Amino acid sequence: MYKALTIAGSDSGGGAGIQADLKTFQERDVFGMSAITALTAQNTLGVHHVFPQTIEAVQSQLDAVLSDIGADAVKTGMLFSSDIILAVSEKIRDYNVSNLVIDPVMIAKGGASLLQNEAKLAMKEKLFPLGAVITPNLPETAELLNCKAITSIKGMEEAAKALHASGAKAVLVKGGHMTSNTAVDVLYVNDRFYHYESERIETKHTHGTGCTYSACIAAELAKGRPIPEAIAIAKEYITAAITHALPIGKGIGPTNHAAYRQIQPSVMKT
């Protein structure tokens, strides 16, 4: 039984955060566990309130899980503050976590900030060097590098290489925000670039895509798959989830975590 732990915020609407992660782990036949960093009151219309957990609460959850059950992979999502980032980084080192997937969650789909300003530096300096893969989207990449909007595949490659200098083993820059007929993600690992391409799906229902994508990567790493292969499977998984997204609620609906199991799509990878 492979095991994966998510360290993230709770989404009361069920589309993102630990709820999305645990659904994804289950779909990928991995036993899922969680450490909650913050409670959020949110739905398809947006994030209404954020209630961060205490440092002691976060540390205690991590100690309880990692000292007993352990984890073949760990992923982080919404960490909210520099104090939580520092506490999580310390526990990741203490328990010698090797397969760490870092989704640098900063802004919700509705525009709400999910990371305090001073936390960005802590994430880059303390957490990124511990990562197997970091998975920023284009706005997050530009924010992390303090650069202009990225508008080309070449720019994505340059950004991935620049973020790689922060110490993570691999960087996946996700191109979903780029305007084109296809959605291309760029991976930089072991001095090599990989491109993962899929058809762009015209839908507004994309709540939880980043959480779901990174959770699937973590699940596949937990099984022992190499990083490029784990991402290839995760790209297929998230493409299916977006293609068959759920138009529930009055705003941005969630992706469909069960879709990949039901249709097994084929996605071109180069």
Annotated active-site residue 182? The verdict is: no
Catalytic one among 208, 216, 253, 255? 208
Residue burial 12-48, b: 16+ Cβ < 10 Å; e: rest: ebbbbbbbbbbbbbebbebbbbbbbbbbbebbbebbe
Catalytic one among 24, 206, 212, 255? 206
Annotated active-site residue 44? The verdict is: no
Annotated active-site residue 216? The verdict is: no
Catalytic one among 40, 209, 239, 255? 209
Catalytic one among 75, 211, 235, 255? 211
The radius of gyration of the chain's CA atoms, rounded to the nearest angstrom, is 17
Q: Are 200 and 181 in contact (CB under 8 A)?
A: yes
Annotated active-site residue 209? The verdict is: yes
Burial class (CB in 10 A: 0-12, 13-18, 19+), 158: middle
Q: How far is CA 32 from CA 153, 169, 187, 217, in A?
A: 34, 24, 25, 13
Annotated active-site residue 253? The verdict is: no
Alpha-carbon gap, residue 240 to 260, rounded angstroms: 5
Catalytic one among 23, 174, 175, 255? 174
Q: Residue 9 in 3-state DSSP?
A: strand
Annotated active-site residue 210? The verdict is: yes
H or E element, residue 205: none
Q: Do the strands 170-173 and 133-134 form a parallel or antiparallel pair, or are they unpaired? A: parallel
Catalytic one among 14, 210, 212, 235? 210
Residues assigned a catalytic role: 174, 206, 208-211
